[in-house]
Amino acid sequence: MIPDRPTLARLREQAAQARRMGHYAQAAQWERQAVELAGALGLAGERTRALLWEGYSLRHAGQADLALVALLQAVNEPAPAVDPADRFSALIAIVHLSLERKPARFCRALLEQGRRDLAESRQPWSALLDFLEGELAFRQGDFAAAWNWHERAWAGRRDAHPQLTPATHLWALCRTAFRRCAPDELERLTHQLRELRPNSTLEQQLVLRAQWLHWRAHSFAAPSVSPADSAPVEQARAFLTAVAGEREPGDVGARLETLRVLALAGDGERIDAHLRCLPLSLDTFETALGLGDLALSRARATLGLPVIDADYGATTIEAIALAAPDFGQAAARVSEAQRGYQEAERFAEEQDPRLETGWYGDTVRQRLALLELTASRVQSGTR
């Protein structure tokens, strides 16, 4: 590799292109080379920016520990040669990672430090901290507070570095509106997000996810208007087909939301086929709870019972009239749901103290109550 600026620029462009395509591991490799080359050229500012984007890429590639190493390097680069906006962006990324792993008090301390830094430097970047306050509240299950912080962050967003993209802000608002069971707000925000027409793979997925949340909320408001061949359901099917051919299967959250749509649409065979091809592990609260919910939906569908969208409160989709329910298959699905919820309960025991909330445990208990009702139906049918 020739150590010159054109080569450095080419590496950064290759990394940016890889990110747009959703190839985050490859992007991180290009950024690592850019870090090394910038260091060899004595370009501290370029090195810091490459470290920032290496950390971002590693985070989205699912390599949180390596991402943290790169981001800490960016934060600790010598101040005179570094753009303060890059340093602050690295701090924001560290807080985002900490929300997944560190205690709430640790995250609050970082947020408070960020606000002190902004007060001292008189920089107008508080919307980024407001966004992270919303993310913390969302993880604590305080969706009213999350909504207020995310609205404040969106209103204060500046179209200049450092920043979050409009799609990131709108997706956070869509997700929170869904949790607040506010379908009108969700519809408005989903329309705004769709109108952005983003060109990166990640943000295109955010548009799809918002549309799926809107479809689920609409199905609750008008259960008779949720045909299995509607556009969002077809998009979910197409998404799973595309994911099956990807070298990096992508965001687990997007896959789970896709599978939830298909469960509500009664497309159980496609769910089973996808999970055989690309299994999901019970390695986080979200995946354990989601897999438990999918199994519960399948059990209820097998019994002809109303299918429940447990994420949206007491949502039900119309029951199916079955001449002869398959109680054996339903029992197997109940056991599968039980395994998922037991794992989710284990994670809840860690998450509730870490995030100073009771939301995770309460959520699992609600699911177990729904499961008990389904299990009793199976037991009465097998006597």
Q: What is the pLDDT of residues 7-49, one digit of tens each?
A: 999 999 999 999 988 889 999 999 999 989 988 888 888 998 9
For residue 226, pLDDT beyond 60: no
Pick the range with the lowest mean pLDDT from 13-22, 222-231, 314-323: 314-323
Whether the model pTM is above 0.75: yes
C-alpha closest to that of 167 among 194, 140, 188, 132: 194
Q: Delimit the domains of the chain by residue range.
A: 1-101, 281-383
Q: What is the mean pLDDT of residues 233-250?
A: 81
In DSSP terms, 308 is beta-bridged to 316
Say what percent of the chain tops pLDDT 90. Answer: 60
- Cβ contacts of 367 within 8 Å, gap of 6 or more: 289, 292, 293, 296, 310, 341, 344
Q: What per-residue confidence (pLDDT) applies to 45?
A: 87
Query: What phi and psi, each to the nearest 5 degrees, are found at residue 122?
Result: 55, 40
Q: How many CB atoms lie within 10 A of CB 187?
A: 16
Which class is domain 1-101? Answer: mainly alpha
Q: What per-residue confidence (pLDDT) applies to 208?
A: 95
Q: What is the mean pLDDT of residues 89-106?
A: 93
Name the amino acid, one letter, at 377.
R
For residue 247, pLDDT beyond 80: no
Q: What per-residue confidence (pLDDT) applies to 202?
A: 87
Q: What per-residue confidence (pLDDT) applies to 2?
A: 62
d(CA 63, CA 70) in angstroms, rounded, equals 11
d(CA 325, CA 305) in angstroms, rounded, equals 10
Site of tokens 């101040």: 79
Pick the range with the lowest mean pLDDT from 77-81, 111-115, 254-258: 77-81
C-alpha closest to that of 290 among 263, 270, 266, 314: 263
